[in-house]
Amino acid sequence: MKFAKFKIKGMTCDHCAQTIAKKFSGNEGIITKDIDYNSGTGKFEFDPDKTDKDQIAALINSTGHYRVEREISEEAIVNNTDETKSYKANTLPFEEDLGSASSIPLGGAGDGLFDFIIIGGGSAAFSAAIKAESLGLSTLMVNGGLNFGGTCVNVGCVPSKNLIRAAETAYHATHSNFAGIKPKGVDIDFAQVIKDKKRLVATLQQKKYLDVVGDFENLKMVQGWAEFVDTKTILVDGKDKYTALKFLIATGATTNIPDIKGLNEVNYLTNVSLFDLEEQPKSMIVLGGGYIALEIAQAYHRLGTKVTLLQRSAQVLSKQTTEVAEELTSHLRNEGLEIYTSLNFIEVSENTEKISVVAEHEGGRKVFEAQKILVSTGIKPNTNKLGLQNIGLELDGGGHILVNDKMETNLHNIYAAGDCINTPAYVYTAAFEGKIAVENAFTGTENKADYSSLPWVVFTDPQVAGTGLDEAQAKAQNIPFEVSKLELKDVPRAIAANDTRGFIKLIRNIETDKLIGARVVAPEGGELIQQLSMAIKHGGTIKELAESLYPYLTLSEGIKLAAIAFDKDVATLSCCAV
């Protein structure tokens, strides 16, 4: 066992001491603790195999009101000497690990030393920074590559959804579901659409990211590439050294460029570069069939670009069931989008007029040509330039940082979150992970990420949405299940709108009647999925879904009908499904 004693600043009463003591409740590494506001000290007996001095100090600082001012020497503790003569003035609990940097007091009074360093500048990073500020932690955010705000606001969610809505407006100006409505067409100023998108991105980057942290007293932001020197030190751009108690790696991901002959020699686009082109491509090949590829392909097709989507797998959305993939594919093809699957890519080349892709298709060779080519073949984590080999941080075979459900890596003071780790890659999961990483690192909590009811949406038209398990996953887990599939042609809202594309599918555990999964293909189907996610999370049953009240002529009524359809033929029900 070991001892640590600290001078603590900010205590004024017994309640203050009790507040600090509560921070250590349930901490297995702490054997005894004695917090005394009269002397302004905290004395700890601890198990060095389960915690250490720097973690104890960090937990005290995480209160936001009380801070470790200095450590009292072990000699003073053992000999009970006058503590006022025995302070290691202006030192950190881990001074032996920091060398000359240890002359800076805990809390980051110097430019090079912080409680917490965040590597990355996206959603996970900003969520972590916000939480760290609330805990009073001195924090450094180091961001390289994309602008602060990361993928979502700069080159992902915000620009893509803006263009999807613009494209939808154009599509509805030229297509009608009603015989009595004759659309007259639309004039598209593509350059203006892109300029408006750029303004939106700049506005949201400022208002939702930079302005949010602009008045933070304990946050410093640095632009540059970080590399680990050791587990407590990073080097930024090869010159500036920073040290911290704890780290969060939140470096995101970039497009995974497939190994196709000639691809690296052509001027290909990714989502990073495509969304800034103000001159509309006349034609474009999209390599890939995941959700990003599909969203972009449909949007640009609707805006007037001739789009050809090429996919190596047997279907688009290769991780989804064939039923879901085929339903969406049929509607996209009905719009005129060219989709080819089961391709074996041979070569990509470019001349002054076009880009060509040669692929094997249905036993023969086929050549696809377009003015531009977009590569959207999945993502890879940004972990290769972090110097992780210097510290022994564990990665999976794809380069993702391995974390547990508390965002902990194999190194006790390093956490990770967002697209660079082995969890679902969504902006909302990244933000959630960034927050709980800080809480677990500095407050002694053990918050966990549970994605068993995670909702997700593909923003095509119709949208594809899901939560929980599909049939294959339920079967793999040996769960006895049953499926109810309701076509939108049986949903009054869809009938009234003359738009019956898609279906609602519910999956239940036969033994418990609990909803365990759902898949939706429908116009604005993403708006249904949160209710189903909450039902799974809280153990809701099919009976409860069937007996709940839903506003008539809303798409959500389809959930009620799909639940009823487990036991009844909905075609025999009255209009209000009772």
What are the domain boundaries of the chain? 2-106, 116-254+381-442, 263-369, 456-572
- Numbers of helices and strands, H then E, in the chain: 18, 26
Tell me how far apart the alpha carbons of residues 481 and 465 are, in angstroms, rounded to a whole number.
20
CATH no. for 456-572: 3.30.390.30
Mind spelling out the 3-state secondary structure of 211-248?
HHHCCCCCEEEEECCEEEEECCEEEECCCEEEEEEEEE
Listed in sequence order, the residues at least 6 apart from 203 whose beta carbon sits closer than 8 Å to its beta carbon are: none
- The answer to whether the bond into 258 is cis (omega within 30° of 0) is no
Tens of pLDDT, residue by residue over 75-103, are 444 444 444 333 233 333 333 333 333 22
Tokens found for residue 319: 């991780």
Work out the mean pLDDT of the chain and round it to a whole number: 91
Identify the H or E element spanning 87: strand 87-88
> CA torsion 465→469→470→474, rounded to 10°?
180
- What does the pLDDT average to over 354-374? 96
Label the pairing between strands 306-310 and 283-287. parallel
What pLDDT does residue 1 have?
82
Per-residue exposure over 432-444, b if at least 16 CB sit within 10 Å of its own CB, e if not: bbbbbbbbbbbbb
Element containing residue 474 per DSSP (H, E): helix 471-476
Quote the pLDDT of residue 521.
98
Thinking of the domain 2-106, which architecture would CATH place it in? Answer: 2-Layer Sandwich (3.30)
- Inter-residue contact 43 to 77 (CB < 8 Å): yes
359-371 average pLDDT score: 96
124 membership: H or E segment, kind and range: helix 123-134
Take residue 278 and report the two structure tokens written for it: 């103000």
Q: What is the DSSP string of 489-505?
A: GG-HHHHHTT----EEE
Residue-wise pLDDT for 151-163, tens only, equals 999 999 999 999 9
Report whether 136 contacts 61 (CB < 8 A).
yes
Q: Is 320 exposed, middle or buried (0-12, 13-18, 19+ CB in 10 A)?
A: buried
Q: Is the predicted pLDDT of residue 268 greater than 60, yes or no?
A: yes
**What's the pLDDT tens digit per position in 8-48?**
988 877 777 878 888 888 788 898 888 987 788 999 888 88
Q: What are phi and psi of 302, to 5 degrees?
A: -70, -25
Check if the beta carbon of residue 241 is closer than 8 Å to that of residue 265. no
Region of poorest pLDDT, from 51-60, 332-341, 520-529, 558-567:
51-60
The domains spanning 116-254+381-442 and 263-369 adopt the same CATH topology:
yes
Taking the model in full, what pTM does it have?
A: 0.82
CATH architecture of 116-254+381-442: 3-Layer(bba) Sandwich (3.50)
Rounded to whole angstroms, the Cα distance separating 455 from 470 reads: 13
Helix (H) / strand (E) element for 159: namely: helix 157-172
CATH of domain 263-369: 3.50.50.60
3-state secondary structure (DSSP) of residue 424: coil
Q: Tell me the per-residue pLDDT of 276-311, one tens digit each, with 9 for 90 and over.
A: 999 999 999 999 999 999 999 999 999 999 999 999
pLDDT at position 275 over 80 = yes
Query: Does pLDDT of 499 surpass 60?
Result: yes
Q: What is the pLDDT of residue 11?
A: 82
Supply the angle between the helices 427-442 and 53-61 in degrees, to the nearest 10: 110
Answer yes or no: is pLDDT of 270 > 80.
yes
Tally of CB atoms within 10 A around 1:
9
Contact 396, 377 (CB under 8 A): no
Average pLDDT over every residue of 429-456: 96
Least confident of 76-90, 337-351, 502-516: 76-90
Give the pLDDT confidence of 212-236 residue by residue, as tens digits: 999 999 999 999 999 999 999 999 9
